[in-house]
Amino acid sequence: MYIPFDEMVDTSRVWIYQANRHLSRSDQTLIEVKCNSFLQQWAAHGQSLKSSYQIIHNKFLVLSVDESFNQASGCSIDASVALIKSLEKEMDISFFDRTQVCFLIDDQIIEIPMSNIQSEVKSGNIKSDTVTFNNLVTDIKSFQKEWKVEAKNSWLKRYFQ
């Protein structure tokens, strides 16, 4: 069952999918249609899952499930991954490319290949206080407090020592 993202409890589990390009308005409309349909019927062992999604910065798709209501099972999580893979195919996009790192620079999302990060730091394009995204957060509370983080407080800190 779908509920608005801002009504999800702090302990709700999250999965963050980073697109390999910015999502156009038509991409977002397709995602909204597919996610709304999927989340209305998403279940684990026949039990409805209280769930939501959000598109952020025209770049990130965040899925969430309130496991205090019903826990997501391996099969239900596989079903959500199948949804993302179907979106990839239909939109000719990737949500699973982990070789790109996003930064928030001058209110814009800038994507930089991991292999270029050290040179971007040396050139001053990425600074210690440049905001990056921790797509490995696991719940809504962490998402709200730790998803956007300064580079010096992330795995990138090694480039600033």
Supply the pTM of this predicted model: 0.92
Angle in degrees, CA 21, 27, 28, rounded to 5: 105
- pLDDT tens for the 161 residues of the chain, in order: 899 999 999 999 999 999 999 999 999 999 999 999 999 998 888 888 899 999 999 999 999 999 888 778 788 888 999 999 999 999 999 999 999 999 999 999 999 999 999 999 999 999 999 999 999 999 999 999 999 999 999 999 999 98
Would you state the pLDDT for residue 20? 96
